[in-house]
Amino acid sequence: MLSWIVRLLMIAAGFMTSWFVAKDAPIFGVAQVMMTLVLIALIVAVVAFWPQRWTAALNRLYRYR
């Protein structure tokens, strides 16, 4: 299961990296790994801060009822 998630992240990172670096360039693999780490950091940030925003939105909704 974890390998599927990593594979999907690497595919997405490879797609985004190919916009900036040629696929046959020697640095493509390094750039792909760096982009994957950026995606992981983005996902972790969204997961970490989403509940706080969701709770604030629900509190505002119930306060006005």
Q: Which tokens go with 50?
A: 């989403």
Whole-angstrom distance, CA of residue 37 vs CA of residue 45: 12
How distant, in Å, are the alpha carbons of 2, 12, 28, 46 from that of 15? 20, 5, 11, 21
Q: Give this prediction's pTM.
A: 0.73
pLDDT at residue 17, as a whole number: 94
pLDDT at residue 30, as a whole number: 95
pLDDT at residue 64, as a whole number: 60
pLDDT at residue 65, as a whole number: 56
> Which of these, 49, 50, 40, 47, lies nearest to 2 by C-alpha position?
40
Whole-angstrom distance, CA of residue 9 vs CA of residue 35: 9
pLDDT at residue 10, as a whole number: 93
pLDDT at residue 43, as a whole number: 92
pLDDT at residue 50, as a whole number: 75
**For the chain, which residues score pLDDT lower than 70?**
53, 61-65
